[in-house]
Each structure stands twice: as structure tokens, then as C-alpha cells.
A and B are shown apart, each in its own frame.
Chain A
Amino acid sequence: MKIDTSYDEYTTRCPMLGHLVPFKYCRQVNHQKPCHRLLDCWHEIFDVKAFVESNYSEKDIASILSPPKHKLSQILELVEKAKKSRQRDTLE
């Protein structure tokens, strides 16, 4: 599916980063998929709900816009991932 890029130059403040970002950043920050706060941050600027509905599948929307993982959960997951990378390095 070709993504609509007509809003890419719009800017708003990212509450997580603490400064202005272009819409292009928000729609592809998560491995080319939108940030989970996309609706929160952009709903006052244009019809971002319609944008999401017309550019992503239902499955994508459910996955993308759900809340972030708990910090501790993220940390333990990343520790395991880092350990596996290190093991791979050792084997190579």
C-alpha cells in the first residue's frame, strides 16, 4: 500500500522527545510504522484518524496504536536480545 505523504511537512511537538517533529517522523518512527501516539498528537491538526484508516490495515492499526510496553518488560526483553547478540558474536 502506498502511503499518503501529503501531510509529511506538517509539524507538531512530540511529548516524548520534547520538541517539534514533522508528521513524516511520526508516521514511520516505529520500524516504518506510526508512533502509538499518532492520534493523540495530530488529531487537532488534520483528520489523522482518516489518514490511519485509509493507509493501514486493521491489524496494523491495532498493533501500532496500542500502548507501549511496561518499562521493566522492555528492559528484560532487551537484555535477552542483547545476550543473544553477544552469544552469536562469540560463536562467529
Chain B
Amino acid sequence: MSVKILLNEDEIPRKWYNLAADLPTPMQPPLGPDGKPISPDALAAVFPMNLIEQEMSTERWIDIPEEVLEILYRWRPTPLRRARYLEKALGTPARIYYKDEGVSPPGSHKPNTAVVQAWYNKAFGIERITTETGAGQWGSALSFACALLGLKCKVYMVRISYDQKPFRKLMMQTWGGECVASPSTQTHAGREILEKDPDTPGSLGIAISEAIEDAVSDESGKTRYSLGSVLNHVLLHQTIIGLEAKKQLEKIGEKKVDVVIGCAGGGSNFAGLAFPFVLDKINGADIDIIPVEPTSCPTMTRAPFTYDHGDTAKMTPLLPMFSLGHGFVPPPIHAGGLRYHGMAPLVSQAIVEGLLRPESLGQVKCYESGLLWARTEGYIPAPETNHAIATVIDEAVKAREEGKEKVILFSWSGHGLMDLMGYEAFMKGRLKDYALPEEELRKSIASLDGLPKPPIRKTGRW
């Protein structure tokens, strides 16, 4: 009985897929404070121009440099696994597959972009990269990437985490990264905070300030900043996940995928798996592609498409995205990774076109699904992964009721061993579901009045 589908190194995809090339209606550019599209130059102080070009590219396929592939071979292609034990428990004729992204050296999908960003920085002549980190997952991934490419890496780690997470710090140092506690005395931002409060435990906000100031202040021009989420080029690099999955399914004779599912916060995890299948859908395939979000924070399922400031202070730039308005205060929920205020613009536009069918689920149902998964497949899922699993189970049950042999694919976005308090709260009956009341939603949307609104452009094909 096969439960793991593997690819050899020579079968790895050699190009990333850029959905911006194929969206039937072109992407609307992010706008700056003046209401005009942000220029590449505005970002040049923090990102190398080759990555900025990727950020703004509309080319369909972008070559993965051979040297990047050589690095990715360390853990890629990742296994595609079949959830046979869950299938059996559900009595479903559906075949459920999931892509396991937890097999990289730092243990997450983040190196998929860390390695690439480090390589492009080096190709641009950059010698040093700065970033910020909390517990250290992204800092570890970037330190790992820089070590492989011979770049210096400076990680500003939030002081309280630096003190409490010595092993993550050691991981970074083992890979040659310089990890300093933030706030530090090495930047204006850090010194300013320390002068006011020498014993401050720091925050992610301060750490980001320091990392960016460090990059911008290097007079040699050889330092840049790196980000592990949200932006288009990060989504692009993650599409290797879905492209591999397609090859793996082909390899075992699965000719058609019926349903693709991923939890969606800022969009990179979902997009990494889903965008290559969105291309198939654009070309005529009948695939149900479902980003899943919490019912309590419905940025995709209930909010209008609009330009939103993306922050309460009404700072810029404006980005086209699904939004509940800058006054929206999300209610309590246990799914930290799913709490972005706005969705990635590429995902938003795909929703507008009807290429994606977003769903929202309550957290109680998600935890129930997580427990079923843990008691059949064995792995304890992260809370955000439970959103995808709950939808997988719904689809598998539907297939059983309809007597259809559907193929369901989803992204395994991580284990929940660091998130057991949420499980404890669920098992003790302390979790409750919360749906945004209509009145609250109306008030939130009203806060968008007066902001520029892009035209809703769609072909109506889906």
C-alpha cells in the first residue's frame, strides 16, 4: 500500500509559475501615498532589483537558476503523502493527498523562498542580509540559506525570545548567522527604545525597525533586507510546492485533481500549492480550488474588494485586497497564522475572477477535524492546518454521499506541537465559534467610504 509518492532530483520543476501572467484581468498595482503606483525605486533601498523585478513581473514562467536547484535538492522534491488512514476512517471513495513541507533542514516551507532570496541578493552583488525574527523560524531559514550561499546574515531577534529560545539562536549561529537581541545598541531605533526602557523585552515591531535601518544605513550599499511572507515574489518561489505535486500525481496515474485546498492567511502557503492548479483551471480544467479562513475573520468570504489602507493609522501604500476595513477588530480565535488583515493581492484577484471558492469555518469544527486527523494519520496539525483538514473532510464526506471517487489535494502546512494550548482549550470545552455580526461588518465596511475604489473587473468565465 503506497502512502508516499516521491520524485527524483532530476524530476524537480525547473521554473516557477507566476499567476500574474494568466489572470484574465491584469493585476492592479499597489498605490503609494500620492495615489500613484509604487515605483521599483521606492523598494530599492531594501530589496535587490532582481527580486523587485520578480515582484512586479508578469512573465508566466520564471526559470529557477541551476544553482538554486542544487541547493533545493537538499530537501526537495518533498514527499506527497496519501492520507489512507483518514480515508478509511471516513469510509470515503475519495483519494486524499497532502504535500509535506516539513522536511527541510530548518523544518518548514520557509527555506523555499529564503534560499532563493539569498541567491538573488548574492547575484545582485549583495554581501549581507538583515531580517527580524520572533521564536526564530524565519531567522533560522534565512541563516541556513545565507550559510549555503556564503552571505552574512544578521537577525534581530526579539529580546524575550532571544532569552527564552536559546536553541533557535544556536541554530542561527550554527549556520553562521549573527543573531542579536532586539532592541540592540546597534541601531537608532534600538537605542531610542533602550534609553527609555533599558529592560524592555522588545517586540517584533522594534526588531523590524532595526533590521530595515541596518540595511538602509549600510553606506557600502551591500546590505539588503529580506521578508519571508506576503509579497508576490515570495508566493512565486513557493509555487514549486504545487508544481511538484502535479508531477507526483501524474506519476501515480492520477489524471485529474478535483479539489485543491489550503488554509489562507496572507496567502503564500495557499498560493504555493494552488496557483499551478489555477493555471489548469484557467485553461479549462474543472477544479474546485478552496482557500479556507476562520469564520471569525472573513476577509475572503464576506468582505468587498476594495483599496484599503491596511492599517488603522491610514498609512500608505494602498493595496488592492479583500478587506474588512481599517477599523476592523478581529474577535478571539486560536489560529495565529490566519490573522492577516488583508489577503495577498494575487489571491484577491483570483477570487474576484471566480477562480477560487473561499470558505470559512469555525474553530471548534477545525479542532474536531484536527483530532480526527491526529488519531488516524498520527500527526498533530497546527491550528491553521486544521482549517484545511476540516474542509478536506467535508469534501471527502460529500464524495462518499455522492458515491464519487474524487481526488483531493491539500497543503500540510505544519505540525501543532508548539500549539498544544489551543488543543487543551478545545478539549476542555473552552473554545467557542464566533461569526462576525452583520452590524459589525457593516460598520467596518463603512470605514472604507471615501477611499479610492478600483473597478471590479472580471471576465465572468468562472
Q: Which B positions have Cβ atoms within 8 angstroms of A?
A: 30, 38, 42-43, 45-46, 134-137, 158, 160-161, 164-165, 188-189, 201, 203-205, 208-209, 212-213, 216-217, 225, 227, 229-231, 309-313, 315-317, 319, 326-334, 336-337, 339-342, 418-419, 421, 425, 430-431
**Closest residue of A by beta carbon distance from B311:** A69
Contact A73 B316 (CB under 8 A): yes
Contact B329 A66 (CB under 8 A): yes
Central interface residue in A21, A67, A71, A81, by most chain B CB within 10 Å? A67
User: Which of B165, B230, B331 has a CB less than 8 Å from the CB of A19?
Assistant: B165
Q: In the complex the two chains form, is A72's CB within 8 Å of B135's CB?
A: no
Chain A to chain B contacts (Cβ below 8 Å), 26 pairs: A14-B134, A15-B336, A15-B337, A15-B339, A17-B135, A17-B161, A19-B161, A19-B165, A21-B160, A30-B205, A39-B332, A40-B339, A44-B332, A44-B425, A66-B328, A67-B330, A69-B310, A69-B311, A69-B315, A70-B319, A73-B317, A75-B212, A75-B227, A76-B38, A79-B45, A82-B213
A83→B213 CA distance, assembly (Å) = 8
Pair A43/B332 contact, Cβ less than 8 Å? yes
Chain B residue numbers with a CB within 8 Å of A37 are: 339
Task: Give the distance to chain B from A45, nearest Cβ to Cβ, in Å.
Answer: 9
By beta carbon, the residue of chain A nearest B321 is A70
Distance, CA A75 to CA B410, complexed state (A): 32
Which residues on B sit within 8 Å (CB–CB) of A16?
134, 204, 336
Q: How far is the CA of A90 from the CA of B121 in the complex (A)?
A: 28
Number of interface residues of A (CB under 8 A): 42
Q: Are B315 and A63 in contact (CB under 8 A)?
A: no
Q: Which of A2-54 contact B (CB under 8 A)?
A: 12-21, 25, 29-30, 35, 37, 39-41, 43-44
> Once bound together, how far apart are the Cα atoms of A31 and B392, in whole Å?
42
Given A19-B165, A30-B203, verify A72-B329 contact (CB < 8 Å).
no
Partner of B310, one of A12, A19, A39, A70: A70
Do A67 and B230 contact each other (CB < 8 Å), given the known contacts A29-B203, A85-B213?
A: no
- CB–CB A74/B336 < 8 A: no
How far is B330's CA from A68's CA once the two chains are assembled, in angstroms? 11
Flag if A39 contacts B134 (CB, 8 Å): no
Are A71 and B160 touching (Cβ within 8 A)? no
B312 partner, pick from A44, A63, A71, A85, beta carbons under 8 A: A63
How many Å lie between the Cα of A37 and that of B134 in the bound state? 15
A-B contact count (CB 8 A): 140
Q: Is the CB of B327 within 8 A of A66?
A: yes
What residues on B are CB-neighbors of A69 within 8 Å?
310-311, 313, 315
Q: A16-B336, A37-B339 are in contact. List 19 more A-B contacts (CB 8 A).
A: A13-B418, A16-B204, A17-B160, A18-B418, A21-B160, A35-B203, A40-B330, A44-B425, A44-B431, A65-B329, A67-B312, A67-B326, A67-B330, A69-B310, A69-B311, A78-B208, A79-B212, A79-B216, A85-B217
Given A25-B160, A71-B230, answer yes or no on A86-B331 (Cβ-Cβ < 8 Å): no
Residues of A within 8 A of B315 (CB): 69, 73, 77
Contact partners of B337 in chain A: CB under 8 A = 15
A55, B331: Cα distance in complex, Å:
19
In the bound assembly, the distance between CA atoms of A37 and B229 in angstroms comes to 19
Q: In this complex, what residue of B is CB-closest to A66?
A: B312
User: How far, in angstroms, from A37 to B45 measured CA to CA in the complex?
Assistant: 31
Distance of A69 Cα from B341 Cα, bound (Å)? 8
Q: How far is the CB of A21 from chain B (nearest CB, A)?
A: 6
With A30-B203, A66-B329, A70-B311 as contacts: A86 and B227 at CB distance below 8 Å: no
Question: What B residues does A70 contact at CB under 8 A?
Answer: 230, 310-311, 319, 341-342
Instruction: Name A39's closest neighbour in chain B (CB-CB).
Output: B332
- Chain A min CB distance to B377 (Å): 24
A82 to B190, CA, bound (A): 12
Q: Which of B136, B201, B230 is packed against the most chain A CB atoms within 10 Å? A: B201
CB nearest to A32 among chain B residues: B197
A71-B227 in contact (CB<8A): yes
Q: Is the CB of B164 within 8 A of A20?
A: yes
By a CB distance below 8 angstroms, the chain B residues around A14 are 134
Shortest C-beta distance, B190 to chain A (Å), equals 11
A17-B134, A25-B160, A79-B46 known; A73+B217 contact, CB < 8 A? no
A81 to B181 alpha-carbon distance, docked (Å): 21
Contacts of B331 in A (CB 8 A): 39-40
Contacts of A17 in B (CB 8 A): 134-135, 158, 160-161, 204
Residue of B nearest to A71 (CB): B230
Known: A83-B216, A85-B188. A67 touches B328 (CB 8 A): yes
Q: How far is the CA of A81 from the CA of B137 in the complex (A)?
A: 27
Known contacts A19-B165, A43-B332: A76-B42 contact under CB 8 Å: yes
Q: Across the two chains, which residue of chain B brings its CB closest to A37?
A: B339
Q: Give every chain A residue within 8 A of B341 (Cβ-Cβ).
A: 67-68, 70
Whether the Cβ atoms of A72 and B231 lie closer than 8 Å is yes
* Chain B residues with CB below 8 A from A85, complex form: 188-189, 213, 217
